[in-house]
């Protein structure tokens, strides 16, 4: 019953889907926060890692219960656009915390330029790519700044065409689902660029969470005991967006305005 006396009908599947989505999201965000702290304390790779099969299916085991990193049996070579490569440099810790593992082909040396200079030129590529603990760290370890040069912003690392070529060696495993499609990473890079690095879920991760929430929610025809209905209503009331399911459909609909019947 709404405050104005409107009797509402509840879609139990949509309501429980919303509850499950926010529960799964909270668990995942707690894991990311812990992983980010770990990255600040060392050069770690963020998240729990496992090796073995690639593909786009599911991965089992405790390391994949919430968030992990699945090492690919054969790294995929990606050619990043300049914006994508610069975004990777700027937000490498967050990208690593989500479970993507990349290393530049041939290593990276950054070039720093004076204020007003055109961004361009090619950076020299070094030898080997280093070990996994320094794959992302090498991206922002540039040369010394020139004397008198203006302070540099995060996007003023110049990335050449060769340096924009990355090897994708590990992908996120979110609740047992591998995000092995390189497009998932590219979409996230664009999101980070467009939002200035806002702490939003990667679109691919949100897609997995919506699917998991839907599959784990009660179905429309399932019979619920009165106490289960009360519990569900209480859980829905505590969600941040109780009016919508995980896919944006309404959880409740007005049935009748009771005062008009009197």
Alpha helices in the chain (DSSP H): 12-41, 82-90, 92-97, 182-195, 203-216, 226-237
Provide the domain limits for residue 164. Answer: 45-198
In this prediction the pTM is 0.71
Read off the pLDDT of each residue in 142-170 and give the average, rounded to a whole number.
54
Mean pLDDT within 214-223: 95
- Per-residue pLDDT reduced to its tens digit, 35-76: 766 655 544 334 455 544 444 444 444 334 799 999 999 999
Does residue 112 belong to any structural domain of this protein? yes
User: Is residue 23 domain-resident?
Assistant: no
Residue 211 counted as domain residue: no
SS3 247: coil
CA distances from 146 to 110, 122, 143 (A): 13, 17, 9
Domain presence at residue 98: yes
- Whole-number percent of the chain with pLDDT over 70: 67
Residue 6 lies in a domain: no
Query: Does a structural domain hold residue 166?
Result: yes
Number of domains in the chain: 1
pLDDT for position 32: 85
Q: What is the CA radius of gyration of the chain?
A: 23
Whether residue 149 lies inside any domain: the answer is: yes
Cα 195 from Cα 89, distance rounded (Å): 16
pLDDT at 46: 43
How many Å apart are CA 91 and CA 89, to the nearest integer?
Answer: 6
């Amino acid at each position: 019953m709404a405050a104005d006396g409107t009797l509402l009908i509840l879609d139990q599947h949509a309501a429980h889907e919303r509850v499950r989505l926010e529960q799964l999201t909270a668990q995942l965000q707690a894991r990311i926060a812990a992983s980010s702290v770990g990255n600040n304390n060392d050069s770690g790779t963020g998240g729990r890692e496992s090796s073995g099969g690639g593909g786009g299916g599911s991965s089992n085991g405790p390391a994949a219960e919430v968030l992990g990193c699945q090492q690919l049996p054969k790294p995929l070579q990606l050619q990043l656009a300049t914006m994508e490569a610069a975004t990777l440099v700027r937000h490498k810790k967050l990208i690593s915390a989500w479970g993507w593992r990349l290393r530049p082909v041939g290593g990276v040396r950054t070039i720093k330029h004076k204020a007003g200079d055109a961004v361009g030129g090619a950076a020299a590529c070094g030898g080997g790519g280093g070990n996994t603990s320094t794959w992302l760290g090498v991206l922002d370890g540039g040369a010394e700044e020139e004397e008198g040069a203006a302070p540099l912003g995060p996007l003023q690392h110049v990335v050449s065409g060769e340096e924009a070529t990355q090897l994708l060696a590990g992908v996120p495993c979110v609740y047992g689902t591998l995000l092995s499609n390189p497009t998932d990473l590219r979409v996230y890079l664009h999101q980070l660029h467009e939002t200035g690095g806002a702490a939003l879920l990667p679109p691919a991760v949100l897609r997995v969470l919506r699917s998991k929430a839907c599959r784990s929610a009660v179905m429309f025809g399932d019979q619920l005991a009165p106490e289960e209905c009360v519990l569900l209503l209480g859980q829905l009331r505590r969600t941040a967006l109780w009016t919508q399911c995980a896919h944006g459909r309404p959880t409740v609909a007005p049935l009748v305005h009771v005062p008009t019947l009197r």
